Structure 1
């Protein structure tokens, strides 16, 4: 199978349309550096990949390894504490020998030096894994990439679940298959006195910065690219003010 089935594509398209509409509204109402996920914190972390057997044909998932990464935990809308929000986890994975410090200063398009994985609070079931679900906190719901990647053996989604406050299991699944854990993300705990600051210059783009072996489907690009373009225009507008 080389493309998602209609059953798989339809909820993802609906989710993408909802996100694009929401971003347009947010950008119009509050031009800002980050109209999407404006409230967050940046953490350093270690990604321990255990490998997967049988594999899916992608070294990042199939092979064991350790990566020093940058991660950002965020709120999609930025509502006050205590209100449900769309929480997100973005992971910047260095490639080709680059370090976490190297990619921290990379432009939006990293030129192949890093890959960006973006996950949001979703369901975990065969259909709900394609639908954004608000949550009361980062650790209370699973997260998924929402849209499938074009894996060498068919559509692939990545998912994450917090098993502790600073430990996240990463898993992989097909459109309707069970999730299989292939890695653990260990996040550094923030300083108890100063907390952990956000970095408004750190940008993530899952369309421009793809994981090797897991490119986006063309239809996913068409659905997602407008939202990223809107966010970049909003950022430029904010910088010029």
Structure 2
């Protein structure tokens, strides 16, 4: 058991180093504060949580509530419309104890397809977290889907799912206005700013840390340059 845990840690460390290296390479090719998802559009909104029909043991998901949010739509490689791209959806939840960040990308929503990044054209597509969060009842994936309104959705439905694929809606974001394409530079980081009651598995944490550390380093160099 101990050996298996150690192997898992080693693999996660190696994966994290690989992600950091990839991010660093992209940053050299495209020197910018955000080498991936370089340009986007931001807008404030309100997240109304009515709670999941099933219990996850996480009050933020299980119980009704309301949060102010900042939403960012982006394209991973920065390809222009109408080219398909891996689309990004970033949601910053404004909490009394500080911001909490949720990063999603266009994926499937099925048992297997939720692990697959899918190029899309329409920001109203399906988004997923790709990796699972750890909860008292087991692994959980979060999903989002826009209302199909062009060029950006005005409403975004949020859902949660377990490993078997049962997707349960728990809330909806209503955006205040059209997104602002001036895209002010903000550092979103789900590792440093986790959602309340939702944490990554240890191997995921180790895998992500390298990439996000590299991202913070690039932004620091841009600000000081």
TM-score interval (norm. to shorter): 0.7 to 0.9
Shift of 1:135: 0.9
Match of 1:75 in 2: 75
1:215 corresponds to 2:199: yes
Match of 1:121 in 2: 106
Structure 1 residue runs without a partner (length 5+): 1-14, 97-111
Q: 2:174 aligns with which of 149, 162, 186?
A: 186
Q: How many residue pairs end up in the alignment?
A: 209
Match of 2:140 in 1: 156
Match of 1:54 in 2: 54
**CA-to-partner distance for each residue in 1:34-60, whole Å, 9 max, x for gaps?**
112111011001101011222111111
- In structure 2, relative to structure 1, the CA distance for the partners of 1:143 and 1:49 (3 Å cut) is same
Q: Does the residue aligned with 1:33 lie in a helix, a strand or coil?
A: coil
1:149–1:215 Cα contact (<8 Å) kept: yes
Shift of 1:124: 1.1
Q: Does the residue aligned with 1:233 lie in a helix, a strand or coil?
A: helix
Shift of 1:75: 1.0
Distance 1:122 1:226 in 2: 23
Distance 2:27 2:101 in 1: 22
1:162–1:168 Cα contact (<8 Å) kept: yes
1:123–1:143 Cα contact (<8 Å) kept: yes
- In structure 2, relative to structure 1, the CA distance for the partners of 1:212 and 1:125 (3 Å cut) is same
TM-score after normalising by structure 1: 0.80
Distance 2:41 2:85 in 1: 15
Structure 2 residue runs without a partner (length 5+): 1-14
